[in-house]
Amino acid sequence: MTSDFSKCINCYRCVRACDEVQGQFVLSMGGRGFDSHIVKGMETTFADSDCVSCGACAQACPTSAISDIFESKSIAVDTKVRTVCTYCGVGCNLEVAVKGGEVKSIQAPYDAEVNNGHTCLKGRFAFSFYNHPERLRTPLIRKNGELTPATWDEAYDYIVTELTRIKATYGGDAVAGVSSARATNEENYLMQKFIRAVMGTNNIDSCARVCHSPTALGMQRTFGTGAATNSIKDLKLTDCIMVIGANPTAGHPVTGAKLKQFAVSGRPSIVIDPRRTELAKYATYHLQLRPGTNVAVLNMMLYYIITEGLEDKDFIESRTEGYTEFRENILKLNIAEMEQISGVDRELVRKAAIAYAAAPNAMSFHGLGVTEHSQGTFAIMQITDLAMITGNIGRPGVGVNPLRGQNNVQGAADMGCQPHQGAGYFDVTVPEYHQKYEAFYNAKLPNYIGLKIPQMYEAAQAGKLKAMWVMGEDMAQTDPNTHHVVSSIEKLELFVVQELFMTETAKLAHVVLPAASFLEKSGTFTNGERRIQRVNQVVEPIEGVKADGQIMVDIMNRMGYPQPEYNPEWVLEEISQIIPFFEGVKWQELGENGKQWPVNKEGKGTDILHIGSFKRGKGKFVYNDWRESDEIVKNGKQYPYIITTNRELEHYNCGAMTRRTNNALILGDDVLLINPADAAKHLINEGDMVCVESARGKVDVKAKITDEVKPGVLSSTFHFPEIMLNNITSSVADSEALCPEYKVVAVNIRKSKGEYKKVKA
C-alpha cells in the first residue's frame, strides 16, 4: 500500500476501518485544528508500523490518500467479477477488477455475508501468482530421467496406457488418488468418482482428511455430523469464546479479526495454545499448555465444571447419553498430575472453565493445534463434551466451530475424498450404501475401506501400490517425515501430478499436468461454516493449462467411462442427486452469498445444526484419558525440546502461490521461535542459524528470540522449501484418524555453522 496525505480530507474513515474492522489500531489522528493529520502509530511508513496490509483503510479511503499499489481509484477497468478467495477456509468474497484481460486489483464486497467488505493481505494482494512466469504451461513427461515438454494428447495417452497396464496386472487397488482442498467441489467430486468408478478402488484421500479428519470423526461420534454447528455471524450473539489450537489472526485473518474485536471488548475469552499468539495477548485467560496435552487440559476444564455444579442438567438429561459413566471417570482425575503434565496452573484452568460454563452463550473455535496430535480425535470429542455439558449447542451464539485451514477442506470431505466414506459421508462398507453408489455410478465398486495417505506410502514401500495421481497437493514439502514420503513416491511406476507450479512433489512426477488457478475457472467452494459459494471465472486461462475438472473428464472419457464436456453446473447437479445435504443446491440459485448446507429440496439452507436433536439422535458423552505421544516416549530423552509447526499471516501452506507474490517481500524465510532462556543456554543470538535435529534428520533455520513460547518449546513454519522443515517431523499420527502429528516433534538444538542445509539423518 502507498499513502499520499496531500489528498487526505481528514474524514477519519481509514482510522475507523483499522480500528473497527481489522482491530489493528495502526492509524490515528495527530495534531489539532488545521494541523490535524493521519499518523501511522509512532512510525512514518506502513512497513515500519504494526500494519498487517489487510487494505481495509485503502478500500475505505474516498480520495486515494491511502491506496493499494495495483490500481488507483481513478483508473477505469473493463469489468469486475465476484468470486471466492483461494486461500483459507473463511471463504471471503472478492470483487476482482480486470483490465485488458489481466487482474488489476481486488476489493471486498460490502454485501458479502462472510467478510463484509474485509479481506486479509493474501485475499486482497496475493493474486499475482496466477500469471507468474513460473506457471506450468505445458504437460511434461519424464524421459530418460528428465521431465520434457509434451502435448496434452501425448500426456493423456501415456497415462491411459500405464493405468490400463497397472490395473490389468495388479488390480485397481494398485492405484491411488490424492485430491485437493484447493480445488472446487466439482473437481474433487470428479476425482473421487474417477478413482472409484473407473479405477475400481477406494484409495482416495485429500488434505481434508489429513488435517481435519479428527474433527470429522470426533464430531460424527458425538454429534453425528462432522461440521461447524454455527455461523461466524453468531459472534455478535455470544457471551464467551474459547479458541483452542488455532492462531486465527494469522491463519484465518478475517474471522481472526472478529475474534480479536470480541477479545479486546473485554468480554470473557479463553485461548488454549502453547504459543502466546496475538489473540492470546488480548484473552481473559491464556492456558499456555505443553504441546500434546490438550486432552489433559480439557479434562481439567470438564472436572471443574462438574465440581462447581455448572452442568446444564436439563440439556444433559433430555438430549444426551452416556453422561453418568463419563462423569464418574472425570471425577477420578488426578488434577495435580494433570497440572504437572500440562504445565498450566489448575486455578487458571478452573477460572476459564467457570467463565465458559457460566456464560449464557459460549462458542468454541478450534484448529490444527487440536487435530494434528496423536490424540486429536479425543480432544475434539472433549470439545463437544464441553458444549454438551453446558448446553451450548443448537441455538444462536453457541456451538463447536472448526477453523478450516484451506479454502475447500469442508467441500473435499463432503465430496467423498476419503477412503472410508463416499460422497455425502456414506460408509463404503455398508451394503445399502455400497449398492447405492454402484447403481448411481453404473460401475463395480469395492465394498472395503481404501488407503489413507500414510498407508499409501507404506503400500508403495511394500511394492503393493504402483500408481498415484495427485491433484494440487505438495506432499513432498508439507507431509511429515519428508525422506519417507519421497522414497515412497520414488518406488511408484506411475506418478501423475496436476499443479500450478513445479513444486517439490511435481519434481518427482512421471507426468505433470498444468492446471488452472481459481481465477481461471468456475465452480463452488464450501467454507468452514458449511457455506457453498460460487467461484466465477475472472480471466481466461493462460495458454496451455486446463481446469482440474476438465482434466478428470478428459481422462475418464479416454478410459471408456463417458462423461459430458466439463461444466461445473452439470457436475453440481449430479452432486445434488447423491449427497442428501446438497439436495436443493442449484448453480443459478446460489446467488452472491451462497447457502449453508444442508439445503433442502426447496432450496432453503441451514444456519445452525442440531436444533432440538442431534444428527445421531442424542449427543454422546465419551471419556478419554490423556496419553503421552509416542514421539516423546521414544525420543524425548535424547531430544528434550518440542517443536510445533505453525503458519504466518503472509504465506499459505507450502507457499507455492504466496512466495510468487509481493508477500515474499514482507516475509522471505521461515524462522524458529525460541525462548530467551533456551537461546542463552545454547549461545544463540537473534538471526543466528540454528540446527534443529530430530530422529529423522536435521534442518538449519534462522532464530527469532521471543517469549511467545515457553522454555523447552520451539515453533516454526514450513512455507519455504529452502528449509524443508518436514524433514524432521515424524510419522506419528492420530490414533483414530491417522492425521499426522505435526504439533509434537522431539528435537535438540545447537548453534549452526551452515546456512539452509538439509542433511539426511
Per-residue model confidence as pLDDT tens digits over 244-279: 999 999 889 999 999 999 999 999 999 999 999 999
Average pLDDT over residues 431-440: 97
DSSP structural state of residue 196:
I
What top-level class would CATH report for the domain 140-206+413-585? alpha beta
Closest by Cα among 409, 411, 410, 447 to 426: 447
Q: What are phi and psi of 235, to 5 degrees?
A: -60, -25
C-alpha cell at position 71: 490500481
Closest by Cα among 414, 389, 120 to 247: 120
pLDDT level of residue 568 (50, 70, 90 thresholds): very high
Range list of H helices, 646-746: 663-666, 676-681
Task: Give tens-digit pLDDT for 454-487.
Answer: 999 999 999 999 999 999 988 888 788 888 999 9
- Residues near 381 by beta carbon (within 8 Å), at least 6 away in sequence: 218, 221, 222, 622, 624
Cα–Cα distances (Å) from 475 to 67, 432, 567, 732, in that order, read 38, 35, 28, 16
- One-letter amino acid identity for 710? K
Average pLDDT over residues 596-604: 95
Which string of b and e fits 679-706 if b means at least 16 CB within 10 Å?
beeeebeeebbbbbbbbbbbbbbbbbbb
Cα–Cα distances (Å) from 255 to 23, 117, 640, in that order, read 12, 13, 35
Closest by Cα among 345, 275, 333, 71 to 743: 275
Pick the more confident residue, 654 or 267: 267
Q: Under CATH, what is the fold of the domain 630-760?
A: Barwin-like endoglucanases (2.40.40)
The yes-or-no verdict on residue 760 having pLDDT over 50 is: no
Least confidently predicted of 415-424, 629-638, 698-707, 719-728: 719-728
Burial category of 318 from C-beta neighbours within 10 Å (exposed 0-12, middle 13-18, buried 19 and up) = exposed
CB 273 within 8 Å of CB 437: no
Residues of the chain with CATH 3.30.70.20: 1-69
Range list of H helices, 589-655: 630-635
β-pair type (671-674, 758-760) = unpaired
Cα–Cα distances (Å) from 576 to 336, 416, 579, in that order, read 52, 13, 5
Average pLDDT over residues 199-203: 98
Q: What percent of the chain has pLDDT over 70?
A: 96
Residues of the chain with CATH 2.40.40.20: 630-760
Placement of cell 469442508 in the chain: 410
Predicted confidence at residue 72, as pLDDT, reads 47
Predicted confidence at residue 37, as pLDDT, reads 82
**CB atoms inside a 10 Å sphere around CB 85:** 29
Predicted confidence at residue 761, as pLDDT, reads 30
Q: How far is CA 488 from the centre of its chain?
A: 25
**CB atoms inside a 10 Å sphere around CB 611:** 13
CB 61 within 8 Å of CB 14: yes
CA–CA gap between residue 114 and residue 288 (Å, rounded): 30
Least confidently predicted of 373-377, 435-439, 569-573, 594-598: 373-377
CA–CA gap between residue 274 and residue 710 (Å, rounded): 8
CA–CA gap between residue 728 and residue 725 (Å, rounded): 6
Predicted confidence at residue 70, as pLDDT, reads 52
DSSP structural state of residue 590:
S
Task: Give tens-digit pLDDT for 298-339.
Answer: 999 999 999 999 999 999 999 999 999 999 999 999 999 999
CA–CA gap between residue 264 and residue 235 (Å, rounded): 13
Burial category of 284 from C-beta neighbours within 10 Å (exposed 0-12, middle 13-18, buried 19 and up) = middle
The structural architecture, per CATH, of the domain 230-397 is 3-Layer(aba) Sandwich (3.40)
- One-letter amino acid identity for 743? K
DSSP structural state of residue 566:
P
CA–CA gap between residue 231 and residue 45 (Å, rounded): 37
Predicted confidence at residue 755, as pLDDT, reads 47
- Residues near 374 by beta carbon (within 8 Å), at least 6 away in sequence: 292, 627, 629, 630, 631, 732, 733, 734, 735, 741, 744
Predicted confidence at residue 756, as pLDDT, reads 43
Task: Give tens-digit pLDDT for 367-406.
Answer: 988 988 899 999 999 999 999 999 999 999 999 999 987 8
Residues of the chain with CATH 3.40.50.740: 140-206+413-585
Q: What are phi and psi of 533, to 5 degrees?
A: -125, 150
Predicted confidence at residue 18, as pLDDT, reads 85
The structural architecture, per CATH, of the domain 1-69 is 2-Layer Sandwich (3.30)
**CB atoms inside a 10 Å sphere around CB 313:** 11
C-alpha cell at position 383: 470439545
- What does the mean pLDDT of the chain come to? 91
Predicted confidence at residue 42, as pLDDT, reads 64
699, HSE (Cβ side, Cα atoms, 13 Å): 26
The yes-or-no verdict on residue 498 having pLDDT over 80 is: yes
Average pLDDT over residues 660-678: 85
* DSSP three-state, residue 520: helix
Average pLDDT over residues 536-561: 96
CB 636 within 8 Å of CB 734: no
Burial category of 462 from C-beta neighbours within 10 Å (exposed 0-12, middle 13-18, buried 19 and up) = exposed
CB 512 within 8 Å of CB 539: no
**CB atoms inside a 10 Å sphere around CB 366:** 25
